[in-house]
A and B are shown apart, each in its own frame.
Chain A
Amino acid sequence: MEINLNVPDISTRPVKKCATKLKVENVNLYYGSFQALRNITLDIPSCSITAIIGPSGCGKSSMLRLFNRMNDLIPGARAEGNIELDGIPIYNSKIDVAELRKRVGMVFQKPNPFPMSVFENVAFGPKRHGVKNRSELAEIVEKSLHQAALWDEVKDKLGQSGLALSGGQQQRLCIARVLAVEPEVILMDEPCSALDPVATLKIEDLMRSLATDYTIIIVTHNMQQAARVSDTAAFMMMEPDRAGVLVEYGPTAQLFTNPKDKRTEDYITGRFG
């Protein structure tokens, strides 16, 4: 079986101090009586991009939301098992969830800038974490917008509403907003699904450039995108009455060109899903 996917040559990417950033051990997640994740175990390396792929409803987003405990906001959600960030169990009751979310930022599927100015959007996080000084804030805002490759487009309209920007710009604004709190991990939940191809490419370039300093985990429906940007990939699926099964996890190049599991191969060659 010849698999024709545009897989970049990942071997040329520098393998940097790939320590384990996030460790997931035997995790089960329930929404009430519904089990959304089943016995998930995987290690996510630092300073790289990990893609989670799989059909709709298989639990990709639920898995992503484990890492910053966003599932906590859903009434009836309950996680079992162990998840560690740099060796610290994050589901410990002594963990300050706000502090965890500062270290593990998140970009959502639909761009969701606040109904405030561009400046205030980016300054929101730093302000909540104690930066008061106006010039210091301005510095953080400029730096974050630069990092998100948005500065040149918005530098003259920092006072304008963030909602007045285009969809792609809004999503980069959301990325800048996350970068402004200087997280270590960035979770991206289908960040390009509401964007056109040009904006998608911009975000992907941005992700690659951020991957040198940040651990990025991206959920995507778009397998080309997973192949283009990620270093490691996880394939999840659901069986008729069971959601949230992790089928295969490994280097992207291997997962896409030489999958070990028949189900992975079927999915990426488009036989189902």
Chain B
Amino acid sequence: MLTFTIRRLVLAIPTLLFISLAIFLLLELAPGDPMAQVPLTVPPEVKEKMREALGLGQPVHIRFVKWLYQFFVIEPAIFVDTLFGTTWAEGEQRVISWQTRSPVMEIVVQRLPQTLTVVGLAYVVGVLIALPIGIYSAYKQYSVFDQAGTFISMVGFSVPPFFSGVLVIVIFSVQLGWFPSIYDTTLKVNSWDTFWLQVRQMVMPVMVLALQTTAQISRFMRASMLDNLNQDYVRTARAKGLSEATVVMVHVLRNSMIPVITVIALGVPSIFGGAIITEQVFKVNGIGQLLITAIEANDLPMVHTLTFIFAVLIVLFNLIADVLYGVLDPRIRYD
């Protein structure tokens, strides 16, 4: 198992390098010029110096290697510096955003908590709702509950978040006035009142994201439970007189959770992608919204770094899912 994990980790490195190169080359084709906003009165040689200050003077391969060095060596060193007060990365050139002229990672670190609270909470809520629904609809297959569950999860698949978001805003914010339609990230939680405000503004984005998660995971849970419910060991368990609750909730559930857990792990990065749209609908200023503004403003270092962070998340969670599968299910060991 350990060798398998190590092999997968080593294999992930070329994948990530290749993805990063692909994104970099794609962005190389970008027509925009960061110097386009500079007044025409600035002489050309000054402009040339300004370009070099942004790191644009050199050929493509040197800039790519420099970006790699900045991302994989300097940024982690800065992270260690801020944690332990060391001075490893002092005076080193960081990845700079063209929009704000400040380090990209600083902005990402500012925006990440918003995304993580909304998206992370939505995922947890979605999974917690989905599991019991999946278990019960498998146990009562073809019952009214199961049919309704199937229909609702089909709807959850089909309604895109940019519509369900708009719909809940129309219903709960415009018509009923229960929740604010815009997520206020300047809100500081320091009393019961502000806590209550925070809860209220999180309800709608979490609901929209959770609908998607619930639809997917409850289907997987149901299918996996159905696979297990007809197996011989279930009959054996019933035959030796175990209570129905023990049979279903201990024996069957534990076995059916194996594929479901990997699906849950695989779904984490896609939820970040979906959050790009949800953040736009509810005006949450997380990393999805940061990416959109960066693309619109032609801020290439920011776009490159953010897209690469998304890629790292996908590769990482694929790896986690693979390893978890091996750990949970001794029949599948990749040795």
A binds B: no
Interface residues of chain A, those whose CB is within 8 Å of chain B, are none
Interface residues of chain B, those whose CB is within 8 Å of chain A, are none
